[in-house]
Amino acid sequence: MWSLPLFLLLAPVARAVTLYNIEGAVPTTVSGVTPTYTGFIAFDPATLTPPALPTPAPTNAFNIAIHAAPPAGLSIKQNGSFFGFSIEFSLLTQILGTNSSILQVPFLNLMANIRDRCGAVHIRVGGNTQEYSTLVDSLPDGEILSKSISAVNNPTLTPEILFTEEIIYMMANISALVNVYWFMGVPFNDTANWRLGIIEKGDAILGDYLVGIQAGNEPDLYAKHGHRPVDYTPQDYSDDFGLLVKAIAADPLITKPNQLIGPSLSGSWTPESVWNTGFATTYADDLSALAMERYPTDNCQARYGASDPNTTYHDPAVEFVTYMTHQAAINLLKTYTNSTAYAQSINKPFLMFETNTASCGGFTGISDAFAASLWALDYSFQLAYSNFSVAMFHTSGQNVSYNPFTPPPGSQSYYHQWTVSPIYYAALVAAEFFGMSNVTQITDFFGADPNMLHTPAYAAYENGNFVRLALFNYMDDPTGNSDYTATVSVGGSQTGEGPVTPASVQVKYLLAPSVASKSNITWANQTFGNYYESDGRLQGTEYTETVQCDTNANTCQIKVPAPGFAMVFFSDTALSESDDNGAAQQTFATTVQTQTINTVTFAPDTLATSNGGRDRASYRGSTSPQSGAARMVPGAVAVLAAAMGALFLVGRAL
């Protein structure tokens, strides 16, 4: 048992709270939506009318003949943590915690949910604000992050960010508790004066939990945003990258030079335009991965106005139907077919570093509705099938629609909890689909078959065995007439294999009343509640349906409601992965209130499992050197929590 110095056990748990500088609510009016809402966009209850049913109506009964052994054309082997998150750098103290000592427990619970289903979580911290970030020794009043627009001169009004190393210690303590692996970004706005402190401290504090450094965030938009000359080219970016490589090589405090990630294009340049410069081969020893960022469309004119002649208004009521088809994911990824093959040829992972439903915050009524759950699941599976290695869905402030999860405004946390949105449900389901093995390979069963675009399906294989089937129904039909039944067989005459359909299968459903629904979303009968109702833990009793199969006919009949998603588990082992092989899941109870005492407490029954379970013995955490405890493990956290009744990690006193 780790012992703690007495002065640590006597440390006070009450801390003053930094109230976040949250921008005011932006009025939002959506075409086809009533009533008009004028609060924060992230909590807008307005809904859209669901798209009409397709004509002619797709068949509501069809066969799926699955190969028992892996067929040709499977994806590369995927990690369970394929579906990750991207968090705007300026929002870290709102989402992660106040400092390394006081963490946001709803966030910990949300990450623990993912970790318990697939082993780990990937998170990128960055975005536009990383380009204007500077690591400093300290900030006034004990702050660890501050942002200011007053000193900024750029068209997008990206704020200047000042932060201390306490941000990175906070990330390390989160990793120690819930096995998060981080991507960060080095500022790329001043190539004459590289600010490498974030890499130096990231390496030293996070260690192996830092898995990559982004070099340039959407450089193909630099000229448009006034960050580079108007004639800035892919070759110019490659040259700038080379300057960074030289600066890193000259920095004795950076010990892992081969962790850079690029080019992270938005889509204005083609990937090939960068590959043709020799970028990936010239810097092969410096690159850990190649990456892109891509949104299917944008909502920029609605967000920022029509003054920019390069923007186009996209009506959410018109756009809605484009998300409710498998073709959306296929079309979005055609651009990268050559690039994923190229990445494999040079032995580099290919990452989707930032994505979501639409840039500039998404669409109210789509990005925050059940439609986004189905779309994000289909899109993430298509990314995996297309041989990307990670996909990170972006989250921003309270005036966007696409967040996977959103804390309440600082002044409301006394009486409001977090809001968990449809994109997060997709992440939870994806974690179960990819599972714990880290060798999952998937196939898009129907592909671009025009008759199956509203009812796509994916099959997952592990270690040479078929294990799970994913079934989608994009149609919205409360009558039940568009529900379908898939007759599934494993092996058999259609595959040229012996029949091996099991006697029964287990099925979990992701459901909501409508694709337009923003509430009553459930996964296996559990939910995170509606707006302001979640502490990050699932509510309700989990229900997994057992479906009896006909072994004589070698078939199982699986029904999928309209709308809905079904995950079918074809072995007890495949199902057991979704609950960490039956281990008790680690969760945290919370009493965080930003207007009173800011504490994070364990429920007594969680202390017994807070230092147990999969891989937790190897977790590492960090605290500031000044605290007198340079490294920390979960055992120390559990002891301290037991003594103080709060999750109060050892860290710098603020």
CB atoms within 10 A of CB 2: 14
Mean pLDDT of 46-50: 97
- In angstroms, the CA 109 to CA 642 distance is 18
Helix (H) or strand (E) holding 264: strand 260-265
Tell me how far CA of residue 157 lies from CA of 132, 184, 393, 529, in angstroms: 11, 21, 23, 35
- In angstroms, the CA 648 to CA 636 distance is 10
Whether 321 shows a pLDDT value over 90: the answer reads yes
CB atoms within 10 A of CB 61: 9
- In angstroms, the CA 60 to CA 486 distance is 8
pLDDT of residue 410: 75
The one-character DSSP state at 200 is H
pLDDT tens profile 390-420: 999 999 999 999 999 999 987 676 778 999 9
- In angstroms, the CA 299 to CA 301 distance is 6
Tell me how far CA of residue 549 lies from CA of 211, 460, 470, 489, in angstroms: 44, 19, 17, 9
CB atoms within 10 A of CB 251: 15
* pLDDT class of 59 with cuts at 50, 70, 90: very high
* pLDDT class of 158 with cuts at 50, 70, 90: low
- In angstroms, the CA 589 to CA 601 distance is 6
- In angstroms, the CA 308 to CA 235 distance is 27
Strands 210-215 and 260-265: parallel
* pLDDT class of 159 with cuts at 50, 70, 90: confident
Could you report how far apart the first and last alpha carbons of the chain are, in Å? 28
Are the CB atoms for 35 and 46 separated by under 8 Å?
Answer: yes
pLDDT of residue 156: 53
Tokens 């364990």 sit at which residue?
602
pLDDT of residue 29: 46
The dihedral over CA atoms of 106, 110, 115, 121, expressed in degrees to the nearest 10, equals -100
The one-character DSSP state at 207 is G
Q: Is the peptide bond before 50 cis (omega within 30 degrees of 0)?
A: no
Are the CB atoms for 468 and 38 separated by under 8 Å?
Answer: no
Residue 566 burial class via C-beta count within 10 angstroms: exposed 0-12, middle 13-18, buried 19 and up = buried
Tokens 């149609």 sit at which residue?
475
Whether 282 shows a pLDDT value over 70: the answer reads yes
- In angstroms, the CA 654 to CA 649 distance is 13
Q: Would you state the structure tokens that stand for residue 75, as one six-digit string?
A: 């994806």
Residue 392 burial class via C-beta count within 10 angstroms: exposed 0-12, middle 13-18, buried 19 and up = buried
Whether 312 shows a pLDDT value over 60: the answer reads yes
pLDDT of residue 631: 34
Strands 287-293 and 260-265: parallel
Instruction: Output the DSSP codes for 132-173.
Output: GEEE-S--GGG-SEEEESTT--STT-PPEEEE-THHHHHHHH
CA angle 126, 130, 133 (to 5 degrees): 140
- In angstroms, the CA 303 to CA 359 distance is 10
Q: Where are the alpha helices (DSSP H) in 25-145?
A: 92-95, 105-118
Mean pLDDT of 501-525: 98
The counts of H helices and E strands in the chain are 17, 25
pLDDT of residue 37: 75
Q: Where are the alpha helices (DSSP H) in 473-577?
A: 572-576
Residue 103: strand pairing partners: 97
Tokens 């018109």 sit at which residue?
318
pLDDT tens profile 339-377: 999 999 999 999 999 999 999 999 999 999 999 999 999
Backbone angles phi, psi at 307, to 5 degrees: -70, -25
Top-confidence range, 126-130, 301-305, 515-519, 569-573: 515-519
Closest CA to 127 of 223, 197, 218: 218
pLDDT of residue 140: 94
Closest CA to 314 of 369, 367, 387, 380: 367
Tokens 């309700």 sit at which residue?
540
- In angstroms, the CA 569 to CA 465 distance is 12
Whether 15 shows a pLDDT value over 60: the answer reads no
The one-character DSSP state at 550 is B
Are the CB atoms for 1 and 635 separated by under 8 Å?
Answer: yes
Strands in 160-163's sheet, in edge-to-edge order, are: 133-135, 160-163, 145-148
Amino acid letter at 348? K
Backbone angles phi, psi at 350, to 5 degrees: -120, 120
pLDDT of residue 577: 77
Backbone angles phi, psi at 123, to 5 degrees: -135, 130
The one-character DSSP state at 239 is H
* pLDDT class of 578 with cuts at 50, 70, 90: confident
Closest CA to 622 of 649, 586, 587, 645: 649
Average pLDDT, the chain: 85
pLDDT of residue 370: 98
- In angstroms, the CA 456 to CA 446 distance is 6
The one-character DSSP state at 418 is B
Backbone angles phi, psi at 482, to 5 degrees: -100, 5
Q: Would you state the structure tokens that stand for residue 137, as one six-digit string?
A: 């020794």
* pLDDT class of 14 with cuts at 50, 70, 90: very low
Q: Is the peptide bond before 263 cis (omega within 30 degrees of 0)?
A: yes
Buried b (16+ CB within 10 A) or exposed e, 139-159: eeebbbbbbeeeeeebeeebb
Tell me how far CA of residue 218 lies from CA of 195, 261, 266, 277, 399, in angstroms: 18, 12, 5, 17, 22
Strands 457-462 and 441-444: antiparallel
CA angle 132, 194, 169 (to 5 degrees): 65
